Copies of this chain bind each other. A is one copy, B any other.
Amino acid sequence: MSNKPLNPKGTRDFNPITLQRRRYIIDVISSTFKSFGYNEIETPSIERRLTLYHKYGNEGDNFIFNILNSGEKIKKANLKAFNDKNYNDFISSISEKGLRFDLTVPLARYVSQHQNEISFPFKRFQIQNVWRADRPQKGRYQEFTQCDADVIGSDSLLLEFEMIQLYSSVFKKLELKDVVIKINHRQVLNAIAKKIGVKDNFNEFFTSLDKIDKVGSEKTMDELKSKFNNADEIDKLFDIINKNPNHEEYLKFIKNYLSDYDSKLLDELETFINMIDKNKKLINIDFDLSLARGLEYYTGMIYEVSLKSDLNIGSLGGGGRYEYLTESFNLKNNSGIGISFGLDRIFHVINDKELFPKNISLNNEILVINFGKEYIYKILDLLDEIRGLGKKVFIYPDNIKLSKQFSFANNNNFKEVLIFGESENQENFIKIRNMESGDEENFNLKDFTKKYH
């Protein structure tokens, strides 16, 4: 039984240096979340299909990975459904669980399930993998990591602002000055949709609008015109979209174009825009009337972060307010808001721009050359002692040619090599060679550990 070693398409192995660099980004994000008082939770990778489905829209549901029931349960496969081409029922008959698709729906499930142990407002963050059965392509994976912060149980506008602060703080620490937060509001979109004459198929409207970045403004406009048959209003909408309005123009458009807006909404937007315009610590913020975000659960402000200089890279993060998500788990009156950082895309951008700190390194500090077990035994306790002092000590396991052991030290960038062989043993000292300078220094066995104090 032999086979070619391959990880599945759309997944990745992370080697030690890549993993350390991912950890650097994760540390920046999680320490920022912590500095705003968010606490971390984890939920299972596996959720019931009941929990996952009908939360992400039809397109989303198609990308959920289903897990086959195990053992005897497989015998319950509904072949009739299969023969009737009713594949959903067929799948339901052999699968009760699926892989986590995002971190927001599991959060809503968590909050509803544990509501009696939680004091609201609940600020939580979560950094875990999610899985999507999307066709793998460059920069798009079937397993990837999301880093989410959410607040459940308050509709305060301060939180809409805090999301901007979180994004700004993280991207500044990562020295990514080139990012922009695009903002829009679902209620604004709803009012636009009504004005254009959309009746029930709001999601269809949003989904079309959301494709501007992919298919271009021209095509999107044509699609909308053919679907909703109101060229005048659609032209007006695209005038402002193409103009890339500044904050003031965005507000003005809402006031003039929308008869149907709610004055509370406008007040909120005005206050919000005032707040961000006054604050000098924030990164670029654009209001973008074409931003819709695919996920069904958003009801208020929505965010998306992208790279100004390269929109093709896709979104580096996104989020928004969702008022009713916990209701699908029987918990009412619990407005939530949150944002996500897409670790994998952020990684690629930082990597391309060579912005990783130079001091990210492996655990290759001290290599102990192997002159035979008897010599190793003799200094085992000393090695243990310097490990206790925080040093990383790799004993070369085999007594092979010295030249080979030294090239191992070189190839793996060990900082020091520890030499204790026959002559050192006779004279009771340990020799340390600094691999960068080539300098060697001898230490009496008794004093050796002092070097590392």
Which positions 146-181 of chain A face chain B at CB distance < 8 Å? 151, 154, 156-159, 162, 165, 169
Alpha-carbon distance between A6 and B113 when the two chains are bound, in angstroms: 6
Asked if A7 and B113 sit within 8 Å, CB to CB, the answer is: yes
Q: Which of A6, A47, A157 has the most CB of B within 10 A?
A: A6
Q: Is A442 an interface residue (CB 8 A)?
A: no
For A65, the chain B residues whose CB sits under 8 A away are: 67-68, 70
Which positions 1-25 of chain A face chain B at CB distance < 8 Å? 1-8, 11-16, 19-20
Q: Is A184 an interface residue (CB 8 A)?
A: no
Q: Which of A39, A45, A96, A108 has the most CB of B within 10 A?
A: A39
For A384, the chain B residues whose CB sits under 8 A away are: 165, 169, 281
Name A's interface SS.
mixed
Asked if A37 and B408 sit within 8 Å, CB to CB, the answer is: no
State the interface size on chain A (CB cutoff 8 A): 117
Asked if B44 and A7 sit within 8 Å, CB to CB, the answer is: yes
User: Using an 8 Å CB-CB cutoff, how does the interface string of A93-126 with B read, 1 for contact, 0 for none?
Assistant: 0111101000000001110111001010101100
Q: Is A34 an interface residue (CB 8 A)?
A: yes
Alpha-carbon distance between A68 and B67 when the two chains are bound, in angstroms: 6
Alpha-carbon distance between A331 and B2 when the two chains are bound, in angstroms: 10
Asked if A37 and B394 sit within 8 Å, CB to CB, the answer is: yes
Asked if B44 and A364 sit within 8 Å, CB to CB, the answer is: no
Alpha-carbon distance between A108 and B4 when the two chains are bound, in angstroms: 12
Alpha-carbon distance between A329 and B50 when the two chains are bound, in angstroms: 38
Q: A3-B328, A45-B45, A95-B68 are in contact. Are A16 and B40 (CB under 8 A)?
A: yes
Q: Which of A11, A363, A388 has the most CB of B within 10 A?
A: A363
Q: Is A355 an interface residue (CB 8 A)?
A: no
For A77, the chain B residues whose CB sits under 8 A away are: 82, 90
For A28, the chain B residues whose CB sits under 8 A away are: none
Q: Is A42 an interface residue (CB 8 A)?
A: yes
For A129, the chain B residues whose CB sits under 8 A away are: 45
Q: A35-B392, A393-B35 are in contact. Are A13 and B45 (CB under 8 A)?
A: no
Among B11, B68, B366, contact of A68 (Cβ-Cβ < 8 Å): B68
Q: Is A48 an interface residue (CB 8 A)?
A: yes
Q: Is A379 an interface residue (CB 8 A)?
A: no
Among B13, B112, B156, contact of A110 (Cβ-Cβ < 8 Å): B13
Q: Give the shortest distance, in Å, between A48 (CB) and chain B (any CB).
A: 5
Among B34, B82, B114, B390, contact of A79 (Cβ-Cβ < 8 Å): B82
Can you name 25 A-B pairs with beta carbons within 8 Å?
A1-B54, A2-B327, A3-B329, A5-B113, A7-B43, A13-B44, A15-B117, A35-B390, A35-B393, A36-B387, A37-B394, A37-B395, A44-B143, A45-B143, A46-B143, A68-B95, A70-B133, A75-B87, A119-B408, A119-B412, A154-B397, A157-B373, A158-B370, A159-B397, A278-B377
